[in-house]
Every structure is written in structure tokens, then in C-alpha cells.
Amino acid sequence: MIHSDRDSNGVCLRVTGELLTQSLETVEQAFSAFQPDGGNVTVDLSKIEALDTGGAWLVANLARRVRAAGAHVAFKGLKPAHSALLDTVAQNIPDEQGVEAEHRSFVDWVASVGERSVGSWNDSMSLLGFLGLTLHRLVRTILMPHRLRRAALVSQMEETGFKAIPIVALMGFLIGVVLAFQGATQLKQFGAEIFVVELISISVLRELGILLTAIIVAGRSGSAFTASIGSMKVQEEIDAMRTLGLDPIEVLVIPRVVALLIMLPILGFIADISALIGGGLMSWIDLDVSPGMFMTRLKENTGVWQLAIGMIKAPFFALVIGVIACWQAMQVRGSAQSVGQRTTASVVQSIFMVIALDALFSIFFSVMGV
């Protein structure tokens, strides 16, 4: 607490109690409420029970304000230990606080729009460059297969492919069930139940199977790629590799991309088969289309081209997912927070690119008439 007395020599402030950082809120008001009026001030600190840097700051700041008003400050009853602390704090009070000024004017806004535009253009170019670099290393690896890191490749295949089989198969099965169920209610109105076979097989084999598999893999493995390589970037492991003459693209990116190139078609195929099984089962239960009939119609009316069209897209999706995930990882700068941001960006970007690419393929195939 502060008691203020006025006598012939000026104001005498008697401070009592504890001046500790953790309980400073009780005295903070009293200190800031004191307005120096140009008269001399005596601060009596003989009754304080405890003082730490926080309390010392309040006292030192008060003294500074009094001096700024052109008056003298004297301390009374100061204990030696407190005096040393007060001196240390007074010497270290920064003249100007390092404040993070935030002025946002219209010009700043225009500048930030410009910065963002240039930034995203640079990002696109950098991504394109990275794609080229990866393709170059990929071709070199194909020409010189001994350069491929087999152990890394196999472990990535297990991680991105083998361990994804349950989730991909379950997803495919459920998609088949949903298509059959939704198709059945519509087709029943026309008495065209039997066309449920084409509905399921064409939509799944051509589009849904591989598209949804790619989306799951982008979320599952793309994020893992970005997070793991990104953390390596933070720990300077990538720099260490470069100094050891190891090419990070060859060591980290190629095994992952190749693993995706091999495993994504397989996962897509598994999703297709599971969807057909799910759809067939639902057709049998709900529409009385027997498995035999399902198989016959599948063979007669759905050409192998439908499967091929789906499978052709798989390596492209794999490349997009792998390259975007690894590129995002390489953009990680400095902190753990950056890894998180890049991982999110990686998943969003690769899913978007997969869908965009799928749309392009759709247009291409329909123009080609397949």
C-alpha cells in the first residue's frame, strides 16, 4: 500500500507490504495513480516486507517519472539488499520499450496484396522446378537402378501402401454399398434395377475408386511426408545430408515418390474390388440381383477399358501427391509451427490438385471418346 503525506519538503510516500511480481496487481494502481506535480518526493521503503524485480520496477519507474517532472527523489530506510536490486533494475530499465507497432494503412494493404501475388507466383515456379528436379532424378534412377535406396523404398511401400490397405478397402466397400443403396431407390421407380450393376461398376472403376483412394493417401501419406521431412529440415538434417554429399531428393524424395507410384495403383485396385463386392452384396440384398447375374452383367457391359481409365490416372495422382508433399516439406523454415502450417498446406493442396487433375482427365477422355 502507499500512504502519501505532504510536508514542507514535498511529498512523502510511505510504501508498506510486499512488492512481489506475483501480487503486484494490488499495488499497481496505487503507483500509477500517483502523479508527480514537480515537487520533491521522498519514498520511504523501510516498511516493505519483500521486494523483487517487479516491485523494484514500480519504484524505479515512479522515481523516473518524478525526475522527468523536474523534481528530486530520495529513498528512505532502504535495506542494502533492496538497494542493490533497485540499482540493478534502474540501470536496466530500457529507454524505449520494444513495442511491436502495428500500423495498417491502405498502402500496406496494397503492398501485402502485391507481396502475396508475387509470393504465390514464386511458389508455383518453385513447385514446378521441384517437379522437374524430381522427374530428372526419377529418370536417372530408372536408368541407374542401383542408385535406388531399396531399404527406404520398401519401408515407404509398407508405410504408405501396405498399412493403408484396411482403410482403403473399408472405404471402397462402403462406397459400393452407398452407390447400390442410393441407385436402387432411384432405379426401382423405372423398374430398371438391373442397371445398378453398370451404375456401380462404371462410376467406381472409372472415377470414384481411384479418386477417393488418392484423397485418402494424400491425407494419410502426404501429411506424413511433409511432417517427417519438414522436421528433418528444422533439425538441419537436410543441410547435414548436403554437406555429406548426399542428394536429399535422391535419398528422401525418390523412395517416397516411387513407393507411391507403385502402391497407389494397387490401393486403387483394392478399392475398386472392395467397392464391387460391397455394391454386389447390397444389390443382392436390396434388389435381388444375384451375384451370378452381377458378374455376368459386369463382364458383358463394363469393358476392361473402364478399369484401365481409372488405373491410368493412378501414377499421375501419385506423382502429384508425392511431389507436393515433399516440396512443402522443403519450404519449412525454422520452427515447429512452420512444420504444422506446411503439413496442412500439403494436404489441402494435393487433394485440390488431385481433384483438378481428375477433372482434366475426364474432359480429355470424353473428348477422345473413351
Task: Please give the DSSP secondary-structure letter assigned to residue 14.
Answer: E
- Are 159 and 221 contacting, i.e. CB atoms less than 8 angstroms apart? yes
Question: Which listed range, 160-168, 242-250, 261-269, 329-337, lies at the site for other proteins (CB under 8 A)?
Answer: 329-337
Minimal distance, residue 101 CB to other proteins, in Å: 9
By CB under 8 A, is residue 5 in contact with other proteins? no
Q: Which is nearer to other proteins, 40 or 338 (CB)?
A: 338
Q: How far apart are CA 261 and CA 259, in angstroms?
A: 5
Contacting other proteins (CB under 8 A), which of 8, 97, 105, 185? 97
Check residue 35 for interaction with other proteins (CB under 8 A).
no
Map residues 243-272 to x or -, x wherever contact with other proteins holds by CB under 8 A: ------------------------------
Examine residue 219 and tell whether it contacts other proteins (CB under 8 A).
Answer: no
Nearer to other proteins, 82 or 256 (CB): 82
Helix (H) or strand (E) holding 42: strand 41-51
Size of the site for other proteins (CB under 8 A): 32
Strands 2-7 and 10-19: antiparallel
Q: With binding defined as CB under 8 A, does residue 69 bind other proteins?
A: no
| 344 lies in the site for other proteins, by CB under 8 A | no
Q: What is the DSSP string of 183-220?
A: HHHHHHHHT-GGGHHHHHHHIIIIIIHHHHHHHHHIII
| CA–CA distances in Å: residue 106 to residues 120, 205, 273 | 21, 52, 57
By CB under 8 A, tell whether 9 contacts other proteins.
no
C-alpha 193/C-alpha 186 separation (Å) is 9
Distance CA 56, CA 30 (A): 15
From CA 198, how far away is CA 283, in angstroms rounded?
Answer: 12
Round to whole Å and give the CA distance between 261 and 274. Answer: 21
One of 9, 46, 92, 124 touching other proteins (CB under 8 A): 92
Binding to other proteins by residue 94, rule CB under 8 A?
yes
Strands 41-51 and 10-19: parallel
Terminus-to-terminus CA distance in the chain, angstroms?
Answer: 87
From 98-106, 133-141, 205-213, 279-287, span contacting other proteins (CB under 8 A): 98-106
Work out which of 4, 46, 155, 337 binds other proteins, going by CB under 8 A: 337
Q: Is 81 in the site for other proteins (CB under 8 A)?
A: yes
Instruction: Give the residue, chosen from 6, 33, 70, 99, that forms a contact with other proteins under the rule CB under 8 A.
Output: 99
Query: 297 and 193 in contact (C-beta within 8 Å)?
Result: no
Is 96 near other proteins (CB under 8 A)? yes
**In this chain, which stretch among 54-62, 63-71, 249-257, 281-289 interacts with other proteins, using CB under 8 A?**
54-62
Backbone conformation region of residue 240, classed left if phi is above 0, alpha if psi is from -120 to 50, else beta? alpha
Q: Does 89 bind other proteins (CB under 8 A)?
A: yes
**In the set 336, 356, 359, 370, which binds other proteins (CB under 8 A)?**
336
For other proteins, give the closer residue by CB, 93 or 110.
93
| Angle CA 356–358–361, to nearest 5 | 115
Q: Which residues here bind other proteins, judged by CB under 8 A? A: 20-25, 28, 52-54, 57-58, 61, 80-81, 84-85, 88-89, 92-94, 96-100, 333-337
